[in-house]
Amino acid sequence: MNISVIGAGNMGGALIHGWAKSGKVSLTIADKNEALLAKFKETYPAITTTADNVAAVKNADIVVVVVKPWLMPVVLEEIKPALDLKKQIVVSDAANFTTDKLAETLGTAGQYCYVIPNIAAEFGASMSFIAKGKDTTDDSLAQVKALYDLCGDTLVVAENLVGPGMMMASCGIAYVMRYIRAQMEGGCEMGFYPQQAKQIALQTMQGAVSLLKETGWHPEEAIDKVTTPGGVTIKGLNELDHAGFNSAVIRSLKAGLK
């Protein structure tokens, strides 16, 4: 499968790393930052790099556009003459740049998908949300899903759920980082060195995730396993509730949808 990626910034770069490491696709990447392209070429010699967006999309099976939302119309207008929309699949990885916007900007129906991954794609640990356009075939959707499966978990959803998915898993990764940072700060206050606190926080997070994945338990079921009457765990949980922890998390997830 020939994949062209336009945009090699934080998100585009994470996807490029993930796909290149898989060794299962042929990659062409385009970016105006030639120094950045040189670094990718040095790391992955098999990648084709170019500063020419138009050249990048030729002969691609799937064209993935990973630029800032306000740059999408400019980039799409630039590559429009070189696209073969009867054969190629075009994917928007830009927040809120939906399949309808792809069709409107490119001026025709086509095989369009709207996908939001997260930066853990670099390590094969993304959570990606995939929605197909109204004219996109099931076969094209399957190809896009198989591509993003190389970078982690995927979920095919209705397009109106990509935004909430982004808040949970793309923006949400930052919220998880904030919890880890807070746990580290608490550890330092109680006497651990910062690196020790980081190790503890990360392993605790990893343990919680592994426990839920392996057992299939609901989080409250796992909480019950470590919460004893009158014990220290329930005191800490009650402090989180007193501080409005659940409400703060839910409000943070919904904030970006307003």
* pLDDT tens profile 177-214: 999 999 999 999 999 999 999 999 999 999 999 999 99
Q: How far is CA 37 from CA 1, 6, 45, 49, 215, in A?
A: 21, 11, 11, 6, 43
User: For 112-151, what is each residue's pLDDT tens digit?
Assistant: 999 999 999 999 999 999 999 999 999 999 999 999 999 9
The closest of 164, 159, 128 to 146, measured between CA atoms, is 128
pLDDT above 90 for 258: no
Task: Give me the DSSP letters along 187-247.
Answer: HHHTT--HHHHHHHHHHHHHHHHHHHHHH---HHHHHHHH--TTSHHHHHHHHHHHTTHHH
Structure tokens at 229: 């009457």
Q: Report helix, strand or coil for 37.
A: helix
